[in-house]
Structure formats: C-alpha cells, structure tokens
Amino acid sequence: MGSPRVEPAAASGLEAGVRGGESVSSLQLLRRNRVKLVNELGDRIDCILDHALQIEILSEDDFEDVKYNPGPRRKVRALLDIIDCRGELMAQQFCSLFQKTKYVSEKETISREDSVLMKKHKQVLSRRNEVMMYYNTRPGEKIHLSDQFTNLLLVQGHHSLEFKRHELLSFGQERIHLQESSRPQMEIKPGQLFMKMNDKRAPNITLVSGVAGIGKTVLLQKIVYDWANNQCFNNFEFILQFSFRDLNLINKPTSFRNLVLRKNSHLSKGLDVVFEAAEKLLIILDGFDEFRLCSSLAGDCYITDPDEEGDLVDIIHSLLRRELLMGASILLTSRPTAVSYIPVETIDRFVIITGFSERDIRNFFLKYYQGEEVGGQMFLRVKGNDVLFTLCFVPAFCYIVCSVFKQDEGECQKEPKTMSDIYSRYLSVLLRHHSRPQLTGEEPLTHTLRNLGSLAYSKLLQHNTLFYQHDLQAHSVQLDTLVNSFLDETCVQEPDGVQSVFSFTHFTIQEFFAALHYILEPEPFPDLMNVDTMIDYTIASGFLDIFQRFLSGLLSERNQALLSKHMEMDKATKSESYCHWLMAGIKEHCENGSSILNLLHCLFEQQNDSLAERIHPQNVRVHIGDNVLTPVDFTVLKYFLDMKIGDLEELDLTATNINSAALRNLQPYLNQCERLWCGENKLDFEAIGLLCELLRSPDYKLKLLGLGWTDIGNNELKELCDALKDNKTLQELWIEGSNADYDGISGFTAIPSTNTTLKKVVLVGHCLREEDLVKLSQSLKPSSLGFLITGFSDDHDQWEGWCHWILQRCEMCDSEKLVYFLIKIFNEFLQNKTFLWMSQWCKELQKLLQDRIRKCKTEDTRNKLKKIKDTISRHC
C-alpha cells in the first residue's frame, strides 16, 4: 500500500509526500517534521486525541498515557512516540487525522470569531430596543420595555386581506369575536411566528398586519430585545432590523450590504459569514405601508448578490421573492391598506395583530398609573364608556386615553365620546403644560400650531410621513418642547455626514394636525371639501377618511369651545359650510345606496342631534358593506338610525363580518328594515335562527333578504323554510353559493302551498346533481315556474333579475372590492358558459369597468380591472 500524500495546508509543517519524484512514507514524514509538529499541533492536540479515541486509532490506555502529560507540547511528543513505535499504518492514519482536525480547528476559530461578533451585535440591538418612546416622552425620561410592554393577541390567518378597509378602527369586532371564540388554536405567540404549526413546514416569510397604533413596531422591538437577551428566536444566529421609514431615505442605487452597514458598521468584518449562513438569518422589515415605493414592487428586475447594486425597490422585491439570500427568513409588518401591494404568493404565514384584550387593557392602566388603586379606578371609568373602551383595544389610543385622564384627574369635565374629543383633549393638555408668559421674539403657540398643521396637511396630501429640515423650514416649523411632543427626529448616517429626518410620532397625529390646519387656515389649498379635489385625492384609497372624521369633530361646538381657549377659531363660517356639505352628502348617499360608513362617522363626531332635521332623503338606504365592522362602527350606525330621519328601506351589511351577536345588537332596527343584505358573511345556525325569529314576527316588515355566500348548509336552509311557511311580508330571497344539497333545498318546494307572498327565490351555485335539478323542476311545476333557480340555463326571465342585482352591487363597490366580487362571480358561475342573451348586461358591465379603469390610480388594481374586462369580452 502506498503512502498517502499529505498537503501542506492539511498539516502545517509536514512536507509533501512526494518530492522531486522521491516517495516518502508517512512515518518518515512525521520523523523529519517532529520539531515543527511539536510547535504547531499543541493548540489542537486535545481535539486530535478525542478524534483518535472516537475512531479507535488510539486505545483507551494510549489515550490516557498521552492525555495526562502536563502541557500541550509534551502531549504531542508522547503521541508521536506512540506512533513511531506502532509503525507505518498508524502513521498513515494520523496524517489523515491531522488534516481533518486542521479543518475542524479552523472552523472552531471562525466560530469563536462569530461568537464575539454575535455578542457585539446582540449588545447593540439590546441597547437600541430597550426603551419605549411615547408621544410626549420628555428629554431624559426613559420607559423601559420590560416595565411597560403589554402582551398583544396575534392571530394566524389572512382574514379580509383582500379588502382595503380603514386603517384605524377595523379591529374591534374581530378582536371581540376572537376573545369569545372556541378556537384557541388560531392564536399564535410571538415566539411561534416561524415555528412549524399544523403539520405544515415552517414559514420563511411571515407578514404581521394590523391597523395604525395596534403595536406592530413595539412587537418587533420586543422580539429583537428578547432575542438579543437570549430569550426567544434562538434558532436565528443573527437578526438584521430595518424600518421602511429609514429606507425611504435611500434615493440612489445601493447594495444590500450597504443597507446593512448603514446602521450596523460593527458587522463590517463578519458580514460575509452572516450572508453565507442565510438559513440562520432573520431580516425584519417594519412598516411596509410607509414605503414610498410600495406600489411599485411588482417588477421583473432581481438582485441576487448582496454586493450587487440596484434600486431599493428591486432589493426589497428580490428579498421577498427569495432571489436574494434565499435561505433567510423575513418578518414583514404593514397596515392593512398596503397589503395588496405585497406579492401574496411570497407570504408563507399571515398574522394579524388584533390589539389588547380586556385583561391587557387593564394591565396597561395598572402599569401606566403604577398601582392598583388609581389604575383600577381609571380602568373602570373607561370601561363604562363603550367608545373609549373600544379605542383602548389599540395600544396607541390606550396610551393617549391614559395620558389625557391623568391630566384631568380632579377636574370636572364631560366624558370624551369620540376620537376627536380624545385628541382635542390631548392637545389641550399639552398646550396648558406649555403655556407661560410670552418671551420677546418668541413665536406664539397659535403660530406654532398653524405651522405644524401646514406641514401635516401638505405632507398628508403627498402621502409622505417622512420629511427633512428643509421641509420644516418651508413651513416655518421651529423645534421646541411643544413641537417635539408631536415630532420625532431621527439621525441617519449619509455619505456626506449625519442628517436629521422628521416624522409625526404617529400617523393619526399627522391626520389630526392636517384637519386642524384646514380649520385654522382661511383658504386652505387645495380645498379638500371641493368635490373635484376630493375625487382627485380620495378615489380608490380612502386615506383621507380619518382626516375627514377629525375635521368634523374639530368643527363641533364642544371642541371649538375647548380649543378656542388656546387659539383663535373661526367658529361660524366653516362649521356651517361643513355641516351643509355633510348633510347633503348623507342625503345623497342614502338615496343612492352608496357606501356611507365614513360619513356616518363624521356625523357621529359632530354629536349634534339637531342635524337630523336637515337630512330629508327620499329613501333611506344605508350601505355600510365591505368593511369589517367594529364596535365603534355599530355605535355610529345605531346613533344614525336613532335619528329617525325616515323609514329604513334598505340596510346592506355585505362582507362586514357580522355574526349572531351583531344581528341581535341591531335587532330593533332590523324590525323596521324592508331590504336586508347579509351576504359574504359566515353566518352560523344561531345567526340564521335570529333572522328566522324576525321572519316569524308579525311586526317584521322585511320584503327582501340576501344571504349569498354565507356558507350556510342544510340545517340553516331547513330553518329558513320553516320560518317562511307562514311569513306574509318577504317577497324575494337571494341565496347564492351555499353548502346545501338536495336535502336542504328541496324544502323550498313546499313553501308555495302556504306562502303566497314570496315571489322570487334565487338559489344558485349549490351542491346539486343533475337528477336533483330534474326532481326540483318537477316538484315546482306548474304553479311555481320561475320561483326557484337552481341550475344554469338560457332562460332569460330566470337570469334577468339576478344580473340586474349583480350590476347594482358592482356600481356600489369600490374598485378593489369590484375586482374581488367579479372574480368570484365569473369563477363560480359563468366559467365555460356562454349566454347570448346576456350581451346587453355585459356591455353595461364593461362600460362600468372602463370608467373605473380610467379613474383608478392604483396600477395593480387597474391591471386587474382590465383583465376582468377582457374575460367578460371572451365569455359574453
């Protein structure tokens, strides 16, 4: 057997096995290099001995003879003596072992370097995340995360991510529903965000969604802080933390490496190791909704190397598409309004933050007031106010409410009822705190507020949340203790030096000051109450909804009186003009059946019951569908319905996530309703049972009931059939896309024998076989032709009413909801079907789509509308 060749790199100090054609045995090689080996193997002799014993090159006796020599050099000598005595075979084995342990030693050295780097990185991240910053934190004031953090409820799933709903309060009902739910497996803890669950593989990319102020950033702060202190996410060796608010500062091509080093220069020497072990890396991207390029993410340019330079949007896109650092895990946060811009197929796990539970709210109060006595009293005070208590499910509001009540202790003031009341009270508290004798040359507080409002208004219309020193100068904003209560300043490292960037401490604070600017400015430009201007700024986005609510509340008499103590307010002119606009808008939306929820919120903010006398709609059709309703939304709806501006002709609750509790809450108003739409909600037997109670009631006036796509089955349909047997009011019943089969649907065939009022029942898209359709058709003849629609046919009379309703629903939907609605219609009903008689309906629908395409400002939604329009052209 020939001697193995030992490379110099494998065992430093050993010569090559073959020199100049001379073959050298392993034993000769070890003898020639004995001195060098004694010098060079000492630092890894223990590793060599352990390996030699493990693979049985050394016996236990030999191992002990070498191991217990004092000092590493003596151990090497003892080992070489044993090898020399045992001959060539053992020498060959040890030459091979030296090579392996050389690599192991190098890896251990790298590992030690990694350990030092990781320790340094954790220290940096721990320091950066240990303190919570509140809206009015003063210089020198520190509130440690461990002292104030209160748990948040996270729910796995992507409920209603297809809808763009409002950013602030679309959490309450879902929050309460989850509290009462008997499905605890839906809940997920922060430490489980990247764990394998329900026998599915562990996710690589997790999206955490939640409304403004719900605690997304604080949750990430807590995760990073705990990881840095070895309390969670131990499966990740490194975490890289980014904020889109900071990334917005990048305005030229860069590389991912440079993005990391902007705030993590301590990683410069070890970043290659971090990138190479991407499967042990977690990348946090916070605040996608604030990303100025979020709507431009869908590109086809990919960055595949961390050192490759490219546009920021392409780097983010490549990370999400796993083209860059494929093995890395990503934790992404966003408000719901921006979720539609994220490539949905890249997300492995959707998680929603639903805010505080009742217990969490109480814990927050106890921590804030630092004691059971005061904190408990304040909690009970807020719990007694439904609106305030609901607002407290959002942590940001919870803090503001605590802050306001702390200042109001001992003062006799009316309980705040609305969002504007809370913010106005909050502003008043801060203004009282900063009020003092005016110094010579100092700017009055009113001017400071006007300038701050001008900045907020301008940047809101530009959809900007981040601005620079020159933006402050353009609006004459001077930094002082009052301004610093509302603005955050962040220092960032730029190539030409450190630069400051600014933002309002919370987006709702910016919206509040924008509304304040509109009130204080005699002629705001552009004038958002101008109809044409409103269309330009609000279409397909709704991002001015909260601004409009604040505007209404600030123009109310009570908040005008409160704020006029600190600034000059033009009470009469703008208030009257605004109320005229608001009443006209509500009247028009009631008559047209257009989506009215935000206008009702604006009316609620006024808290002026006398305004009902100025609303005289010809019909009262209330459409609040396509919004996941919260307890505040229900409060607002009931406030409006209690005004008794006329008989309730129609109430549209489509896709609002209503359940039996919500229907029972609205029961007094449902008794007066003529047409009720409850489709696209998951209604259980209890909810259907409640509707059946109403159908059995002699006082119920309902003429039309819509229950399409509510997932009801045979039991629910049987309950409906039983309730309809003796009903004398209902004329139309629409049930599309149920889970019922012949057993449930056949019950309708007996209804005509006892009910002569019901003229139309639309049952489409159910679990029926061809033979079922034949039996149903035979059962209904001859007296009930057209009474039941169960299958597809070319019968124009059967389908005309249904198509008319579909067109009506399309006109009421916003563009994004329209996309969702039509995709469902065409996928479920019209796929592979051609109805020649529908050509006129298709033309009307295409005309509607063309108008929406022309007005749509969101590229992604516009493309989807075009695709649907092309699909309709092919089928009809």
What does the alpha-carbon distance between residue 859 and residue 591 come to, in Å, rounded to a whole number? 32
Helix (H, G, I), strand (E, B) or coil at 287: coil
What does the alpha-carbon distance between residue 378 and residue 372 come to, in Å, rounded to a whole number? 10
Q: Are 385 and 361 in contact (CB under 8 A)?
A: no
pLDDT tens, position by position, 61-112: 888 888 878 878 888 888 888 888 888 888 888 887 776 666 554 444 445 5
Helix (H, G, I), strand (E, B) or coil at 143: strand
Token pair for residue 772? Answer: 């079922």
Given pLDDT bands bounded at 50, 70 and 90, which one contains residue 723?
very high
- Of these ranges, 83-97, 568-582, 761-775, the one predicted with the greatest mean pLDDT is 83-97
- Average pLDDT estimate for 569-596: 83
Q: Are 320 and 178 in contact (CB under 8 A)?
A: no
- Average pLDDT estimate for 184-207: 73
The single-letter DSSP state of residue 312 is: H
Instruction: Write the CB contacts of 422 (distance below 8 Å, at least 6 apart in sequence).
Output: 388, 391, 397, 400, 401, 404, 416
Percent above pLDDT 70 for the chain: 74
Q: Closest Cα to residue 519, out of 587, 424, 433, 612?
A: 424
Predicted pLDDT at 787: 54
pLDDT tens, position by position, 790-799: 554 545 555 6
pLDDT of 412 > 80? The answer is: no
Given strand 497-504, what is the order of strands in its sheet?
467-468, 497-504, 487-494
| Cis amide bond preceding 782, omega within 30 | yes
Predicted pLDDT at 498: 47
Q: Are 172 and 656 in contact (CB under 8 A)?
A: no
Token pair for residue 679? Answer: 């489709």
What does the alpha-carbon distance between residue 53 and residue 76 come to, in Å, rounded to a whole number? 15
What does the alpha-carbon distance between residue 52 and residue 784 come to, in Å, rounded to a whole number? 92
Given pLDDT bands bounded at 50, 70 and 90, which one contains residue 639?
very high
DSSP codes of every residue in 454-508: HHHHHHHHTT---EEHHHHHHTT----TTGGGTEEEEEEEETTEEEEEEEESSHH
Predicted pLDDT at 12: 42
pLDDT of 413 > 70? The answer is: no
Phi, psi (degrees; rounded to nearest 5) at 525: -130, 130
Percent above pLDDT 90 for the chain: 15
Q: Are 494 and 439 in contact (CB under 8 A)?
A: no
Predicted pLDDT at 651: 94
Predicted pLDDT at 22: 46
pLDDT of 677 > 80? The answer is: yes
- Average pLDDT estimate for 448-457: 91
- Is-above-0.75 flag for pTM? no
| Cis amide bond preceding 526, omega within 30 | yes
Predicted pLDDT at 535: 62
Given pLDDT bands bounded at 50, 70 and 90, which one contains residue 210?
confident
pLDDT of 603 > 90? The answer is: yes
Q: Where are the alpha helices (DSSP H) in 184-330?
A: 216-228, 244-247, 256-261, 271-276, 312-320
- Of these ranges, 572-581, 765-774, 820-829, the one predicted with the greatest mean pLDDT is 572-581
Q: Letter for the amino acid at 516?
A: L
Conformational region of residue 355, where left means phi above 0, alpha means psi within -120 to 50, and beta covers everything else: left
pLDDT tens, position by position, 281-337: 999 999 888 888 877 777 778 889 999 999 999 999 999 988 999 889 999 988 766
Predicted pLDDT at 161: 28
Q: Where are the alpha helices (DSSP H) in 149-280?
A: 172-180, 216-228, 244-247, 256-261, 271-276
CA angle 201, 205, 206 (to 5 degrees): 95
Given pLDDT bands bounded at 50, 70 and 90, which one contains residue 15?
very low
Predicted pLDDT at 160: 34
Q: Are 387 and 418 in contact (CB under 8 A)?
A: yes
pLDDT of 569 > 80? The answer is: no
Q: Closest Cα to residue 327, out of 277, 380, 266?
A: 277
Instruction: Write the CB contacts of 536 (distance below 8 Å, at least 6 apart in sequence).
Output: none
pLDDT of 451 > 50? The answer is: yes
Predicted pLDDT at 387: 59
- Average pLDDT estimate for 464-476: 86
Q: Closest Cα to residue 659, out of 634, 696, 632?
A: 634
- Average pLDDT estimate for 847-869: 80
Token pair for residue 258? Answer: 């440079």
Least confident residue range of 62-66, 414-418, 828-832: 828-832
Token pair for residue 864? Answer: 């989807």
What does the alpha-carbon distance between residue 392 and residue 400 come to, in Å, rounded to a whole number? 9
Predicted pLDDT at 435: 58
- Average pLDDT estimate for 843-854: 84
pLDDT tens, position by position, 32-67: 888 888 877 777 787 788 777 777 788 878 888 888
- Average pLDDT estimate for 816-840: 62
Predicted pLDDT at 767: 74
Given pLDDT bands bounded at 50, 70 and 90, which one contains residue 832?
very low
- Exposure string for 566-595, b = 16+ CB within 10 A, e = fewer: bbebeeeebbeebbebbbebbbebbeebeb
pLDDT tens, position by position, 679-696: 888 899 999 999 999 899
pLDDT of 225 > 80? The answer is: yes
- Terminal-residue alpha carbon distance, the chain: 83
Given pLDDT bands bounded at 50, 70 and 90, which one contains residue 195?
confident
Least confident residue range of 188-202, 307-321, 500-514, 748-762: 188-202
- Average pLDDT estimate for 7-27: 48
